[in-house]
Amino acid sequence: MRTYGDLGLIELTKKFDGVLIKDVVVSLEELSNLSESLHHEVRSSIDLIYEHLITLNKQSLPKDLMVRVGGLSSGIIWKPLSSVGIYVPGGRKAYPSTLLMAAVPAKVAGVKKLYVAAPPRKDGSVDPAIAYLALKLDVRKVYRVGGAQIIAAMAYGTESVDKVDKIVGPGNIYVQVAKFLLQGIVSIDGIEGPTELVVVADETANPDEVCVDMEAQAEHGTTSVIALLTTYDPLLNYVEKCLEGGPNTYFLIKVDSLEHAIEVVNELAPEHLSLRVRDPYTLISRVENVGAISVGRTPSALIDYLGPNHILPTNASARFRGGLSVYDFLKAIIIADGSPTKELLRAVRVLASYEGFPIHGRSVEITYGRT
């Protein structure tokens, strides 16, 4: 990418997508025309969900913090990242919900420069819903290029692709490997793999709702990992029958207790947990490692569209990271200002001396006098 630039992107798009594109960036006029072709019902649905997500994400925005302790004011100033590239996977269909889930928290965090990359359709254009949202979100540029090549381009920059500070979004294995390899050069949200859902249910769960919830997450592809852990035999039998003949493999497991089920969940660290039990909030206090929890009858598909986010940790990375949020687009800048107490200054000098940094101690002494 660093060597071949835009021409490399056009060449690789021809090779991998079988589409000959004339330019990498979709023009404003083209976006506008595509956007106008979008069905009004899809448009108003996007608008409604956009507003919903804006409201939710604003709630989780942290405030700057400055506290005075021991004479010293210190804390955290939150600053947004300057530029973010959002990868929106393509394929048979387009996924405007993914663009919403990535862009809304970035926007609310205050990121000024957003870029969108999506693989081209057969005619070289991008999807109308993506075009509509890109205009609505005031995105700087939309790239009609998918795959590992556009990830590399956003990490290093080309003639028409701007280098960004962070790249987020799901994508196929090539996209994820590119993100993995380029981390350090560019920040990434994480490596997103196939969908995972674990349903934990007792006798209060509605069997048809359990069944369709599992089928819905299986709809993401045959590599989805879908499991039911239940204490209730009749539910197990019902679900086994209703899922029969589906294209996916499901894990249906009888457990001794709901507490045991949560232990298994914490070991698996799945992307989605559906908690269909009498007293979900008692169990939630035991949950350690999951990406998202849909509580009671709430279908996990609601999280896919109403969030707060559907870009979630997979492949056991819920051990160490959560779902995408405004925090992925903010940096905690450390700040200190003031004159600490004599006791604290003395402690600083003692520790600096212990660690072999006498000038650290001297800088304190010259500023505040001997203590």
Candidates 196, 215, 244, 271; catalytic one: 271
Q: Which of 5, 135, 194, 216 binds a copy of itself (CB under 8 A)?
A: 216
Is 59 near a copy of itself (CB under 8 A)?
yes
Of 83, 56, 44, the closest CA to residue 310 belongs to: 56
Question: Shortest approach of a copy of itself to residue 92 CB, angstroms?
Answer: 6
Q: Of the residues 267, 272, 360, 365, which is catalytic?
A: 272
Does 46 interact with a copy of itself (rule: CB under 8 A)? yes
**Sign of the dihedral through C-alpha 177, 183, 186, 187:** positive
Does 237 contact a copy of itself by CB under 8 A?
no
Q: Which two tokens stand for residue 260?
A: 């045991």
With beta carbons less than 8 A apart as the criterion, state whether 52 and 37 touch. Answer: no
Based on the shown chain and the rule CB under 8 A, indicate whether residue 245 belongs to the binding site for a copy of itself. no
Q: For this structure, is 310 an active site residue?
A: no
State the Cα–Cα distance between residues 52 and 270, nearest whole angstrom: 26
User: 233, 283, 234, 239: which is closest to 258 by C-alpha?
Assistant: 283
Task: Please answer whether residues 196 and 224 qualify as being in contact, where contact means their C-beta atoms are separated by less than 8 angstroms.
Answer: yes
> In the complex with a copy of itself, which residue's Cβ is closer, 11 or 51?
51
Mark the segment that binds a copy of itself (CB under 8 A) among 5-13, 58-66, 118-126, 137-145.
58-66
Among 74, 204, 248, 371, binds a copy of itself (CB under 8 A): 74
- Our answer to whether residue 360 is catalytic in this structure is no
Min separation Cβ 23 and a copy of itself, Å: 27
Instruction: Specify whether the CB–CB gap between 111 and 329 falls below 8 A.
Output: yes
The beta strands (E) that lie in 151-289 are given as 166-168, 187-188, 196-201, 225-230, 250-254, 272-276
Nearest residue (CB) to a copy of itself, 20 versus 77: 77
Minimum CB–partner distance for residue 15 and a copy of itself (Å): 26
Q: In which element (H, E) is residue 236 found?
A: helix 233-243
Binding segment (CB under 8 A) for a copy of itself, from list 47-55, 118-126, 145-153, 154-162:
47-55
Q: Does 97 bind a copy of itself (CB under 8 A)?
A: yes
Question: Is 42 an interacting residue with respect to a copy of itself (CB under 8 A)?
Answer: yes
**Gap between the Cα atoms of 291 and 229, Å rounded:** 17
Which residue, among 209, 254, 263, has the nearest Cα to 231 in the 3D structure? 254
Q: Does 135 bind a copy of itself (CB under 8 A)?
A: no
Least distance CB 83 / a copy of itself (angstroms): 9
Nearer to a copy of itself, 48 or 253 (CB): 48
Maximum CA pair distance of the chain? 80
User: CA 152 to CA 72: how far, in whole Å?
Assistant: 44
Cβ nearer to a copy of itself, comparing 255 with 265: 265
Shortest reach from residue 17's CB to a copy of itself, in Å: 18
**C-alpha span between 239 and 214 (Å, rounded):** 9
| Window contacting a copy of itself (CB under 8 A); options: 8-16, 132-140, 149-157, 181-189 | 181-189
Q: Does 194 bind a copy of itself (CB under 8 A)?
A: no
Minimum CB distance to a copy of itself, residue 338 (Å): 6
Distant-in-sequence, close-in-space partners of 369: CB < 8 Å, separation ≥ 6: none
Binding to a copy of itself (CB under 8 A): which residues in 248-287? 280, 284, 287
DSSP reduced 3-state for 226: strand
80, amino acid identity: P
Q: Which of residues 291-350 bind a copy of itself (CB under 8 A)?
A: 291-309, 312-313, 317-323, 325, 327, 330-338, 340, 343-344, 346-348, 350
Q: Distance (Å, rounded) from C-alpha 91 to C-alpha 120? A: 9
| CA–CA distance, 239 with 270 (Å, rounded to integer) | 20
Q: Quick count: other Cβ atoms within 10 Å of Cβ 50?
A: 18
Q: Does position 173 bind a copy of itself by CB under 8 A?
A: no
> Which lies closer to a copy of itself via its Cβ, residue 12 or residue 154?
154
And the tokens for 300? 């996990």
**Sole binder of a copy of itself in the list 52, 113, 121, 136 (CB under 8 A):** 52
Catalytic residues: 271-272
